[in-house]
Amino acid sequence: MTDSVVVEGYARLRDGKKWKTRWVVLRKPSPVADCLVLLVFKDKSDKAQGNKERASVTLEEICGVETGQWFEGVAFTLTILCLNQTALLGFDSKEALQAWDARLRYSLGEVHRFSVGVLPGTKLESGPATLHLCNNLLALARDVPPAIIGHWNLPDLRRYGPVPNGFVFEGGTRCGYWAGVFLLSSAESEQISFLFDCIVRGISPTRGPFGLRPVLPDPSGSQTNSEEKLNHDAQELEKRLSMLSHRSSTVSYCASAGGGRPQHVRLLGRFRHQPIREQHEQPDGHLD
């Protein structure tokens, strides 16, 4: 693979109601680009012979990468979530899925996902969802295949912070329709808050020192090597985040109930207020 190619190999693509196996290439237009170009060839030899790709799609405003299992005849799926489109790829093995996932997330920067629950009392329908954080883009997604149900620019959040058994954030006026308070249930609220803190300050918490590139799994590598490498990386990342995120920060809240379910959330403490936020917009109100 060349420097501009993030990952390539055989993957399945939807063609109507059927899946077709094609040689797929995901590359960056330039080393600093924040988008990806998806190129589709009939097979590996088609690309090797220098033939023009059968299809080309530019994926912009990427806000997450989500993996899944068994969808309409395919054992494993990988979805690249963008604000205006999605790209769905299918794989026959878990090892190929993990390799593509790892390479994509590394090439895109700070890409994280958390299983959360959307609580009642906001613009969003309550229920399970996935919280995606891709650099400065924050999104909530649900369904199979996943679809975005809400999105925010991280610098446009007015406040955020962990609460007991959950995480809460408030979109400022620059968030347009998505302004307001959103409350999520999560067992990883401290880790989410720590990542927010780092990214809004321009810190990359999951990258190695001096930008050293890790050994990424090969899409065609063996199952044992891929699993061992992924398990090791996951353990190292968990240790690093755990060491850096130990701090106390509490935000209390209470919900007024009616008919057995919360109707709105009144925040009693302060969320973390980011200095970068003050540079763009003065707060247009305070919560009592």
The reported pLDDT for the residue numbered 218 is: 81
Token pair 């693509």 in the structure block, residue: 13
Indicate the range of 90-99, 174-183, 188-197, 236-245 predicted with least confidence.
Answer: 236-245
Residue 42: partners with Cβ closer than 8 Å, 6 or more residues away:
22, 23, 54
The reported pLDDT for the residue numbered 261 is: 40
Token pair 């920067």 in the structure block, residue: 109
Average pLDDT (167-184) is 97
Could you tell me the two tokens for 22? 């094609």
Give per-residue pLDDT as tens, 178-235: 999 999 999 999 999 999 999 989 888 877 654 455 667 888 765 555 566 556 666 6
Sign of CA dihedral 59, 64, 67, 70: negative
Per-residue pLDDT band for 265 (boundaries 50, 70, 90) equals very low
Q: For the CA atoms of 204, 207, 213, 216, what is the dihedral angle to 10 degrees? A: -120
Could you tell me the two tokens for 12? 């399945």
The reported pLDDT for the residue numbered 283 is: 45
Per-residue pLDDT band for 127 (boundaries 50, 70, 90) equals very high
Domain parsing of the chain, residue ranges = 112-203+252-288
Alpha-carbon distance of 256 to 245, in angstroms, equals 31
Whether the per-residue pLDDT at 280 is higher than 70: the answer is no
The reported pLDDT for the residue numbered 32 is: 86
The reported pLDDT for the residue numbered 75 is: 93
Indicate the range of 139-153, 159-173, 198-212 predicted with least confidence.
Answer: 198-212
Average pLDDT (48-77) is 95
Say if domain 112-203+252-288 classifies as CATH 2.30.40.10: no
pTM attached to this predicted model: 0.77
Closest to 35 (Cα-Cα) out of 64, 61, 66, 53: 61
Whether the per-residue pLDDT at 34 is higher than 60: the answer is yes
The reported pLDDT for the residue numbered 213 is: 59
Q: How far apart are the first and last CA of the chain?
A: 56
The reported pLDDT for the residue numbered 176 is: 96
Average pLDDT (46-71) is 95
Whether the per-residue pLDDT at 64 is higher than 50: the answer is yes
